[in-house]
């Protein structure tokens, strides 16, 4: 099994068909077998029925998981990741559409660099505007700036460097990573219900001696719903704030990630000197 895709769905009736069709098409250029898990996280719209219809169309490809309620992003994704058989694990949100040439480019980037653990493509909105798909590790100041000035930051990112580039973290709307990462970390940290599980997972990858790499040559379309930005006080915003507090406690900083980056540098140096090997 080459790739296992894990699609997380929550009230995704407007997106899930296009997402799944694009994943199926993206698998076509690949020479080995692939599989798709669709994890519905307690949707209250018609998502479940749509997923059941899609599973009947692709009975040997799609494996649905239906949760009775919203278990959050980490628990839900881990349910599928624990069953995944792929050498590479693809995590995508249901509002993502993947062009057919994206996966071969990302797989090639992983195979070309043994120290690369996770790759992420350039994400764009449906109208082609650039999206902030990778970022620096969060801090209080950085999160406030991102909340207030996200569109301005995204416009400034319109010109991206060519070629694979190491980044602090990539948002979890689209990840492709090695199975060894899952074996090493044991999945996503389920103490995070919502965000910033992406920053935490990528930080853990760096601390394990692997690298997180942004591949600008590959892209995907992300019709970002940004549930935590819909009003100041909603349950996703509260989950995000709780998650931020948990993240800062776990990685032992608040205003500056300098201590985290020093620990990452030590882990990377240990690997380079042969004292540590990713995945072991």
242-280 tens-digit pLDDT: 999 999 999 999 999 999 999 999 999 998 887 555 543
* Paired strand residues for 89: 4, 177
- Would 280 be classed as within a structural domain? no
- Would 232 be classed as within a structural domain? yes
- Would 183 be classed as within a structural domain? yes
227-240 burial code (b ≥16 CB/10 A, e <16)? bbeeeeeeebbebb
In sequence order, which residues have a C-beta less than 8 Å from that of residue 272 and are 6 or more positions away?
none
Strand bridging mode 96-97 / 211-222? antiparallel
- Least Cα distance to 93 among 204, 181, 225 occurs for 225
With cut-offs at 50, 70 and 90, classify the pLDDT of residue 68. very high
Do 34 and 2 meet the contact criterion of CB atoms below 8 Å apart?
yes
- Would 278 be classed as within a structural domain? no
What is the CATH number for 172? 3.90.550.10
- Least Cα distance to 55 among 45, 41, 42, 65 occurs for 65
Give the total number of structural domains in the chain.
Answer: 1
- Would 265 be classed as within a structural domain? yes
Can you give the pLDDT at residue 159? 52
- Would 279 be classed as within a structural domain? no
Q: What is the pTM (predicted TM-score) of this model? A: 0.91
- Would 277 be classed as within a structural domain? no
Could you report the per-residue pLDDT of 100-149, keeping only the tens digit for each? 999 999 999 999 999 999 999 999 999 999 898 899 999 988 788 777 76
Can you give the pLDDT at residue 275? 59
Domain that holds residue 147: 3-272
């Amino acid at each position: 099994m080459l790739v296992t895709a894990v699609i997380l769905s929550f009230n995704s009736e407007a997106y899930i068909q296009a997402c799944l069709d694009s994943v199926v098409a993206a698998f076509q250029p690949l020479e080995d077998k692939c599989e798709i898990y669709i994890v519905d996280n307690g949707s209250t719209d018609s998502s479940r029925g749509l997923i059941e219809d899609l599973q009947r169309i692709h009975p040997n490809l799609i494996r649905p998981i239906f949760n009775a309620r919203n278990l959050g992003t980490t628990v839900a994704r881990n349910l599928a990741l624990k069953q995944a058989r792929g050498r590479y694990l693809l995590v995508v949100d249901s509002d993502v559409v993947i062009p057919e040439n994206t996966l071969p480019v990302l797989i090639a980037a992983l195979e070309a660099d043994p120290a690369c653990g996770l790759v992420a493509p350039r994400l764009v909105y449906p109208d082609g505007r650039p999206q902030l798909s990778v970022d620096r590790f969060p801090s209080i100041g950085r999160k406030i700036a991102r909340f207030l000035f996200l569109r301005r930051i995204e416009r400034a990112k319109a010109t991206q460097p060519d070629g694979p580039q190491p980044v602090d973290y990539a948002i979890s709307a689209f990840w492709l990573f090695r199975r060894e990462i899952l074996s090493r970390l044991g999945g996503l940290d389920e103490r995070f219900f919502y965000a910033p599980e992406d920053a935490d997972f990528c930080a853990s990858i760096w601390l394990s001696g692997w690298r997180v790499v942004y591949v600008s040559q590959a892209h995907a379309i992300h019709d970002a719903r940004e549930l935590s930005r819909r009003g100041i006080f909603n349950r996703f915003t509260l989950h995000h704030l709780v998650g931020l507090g948990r993240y800062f406690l776990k990685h032992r900083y608040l205003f500056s990630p300098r201590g985290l980056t020093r620990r990452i540098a030590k882990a990377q140096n240990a690997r380079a000197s042969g004292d540590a090997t990713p995945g072991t």
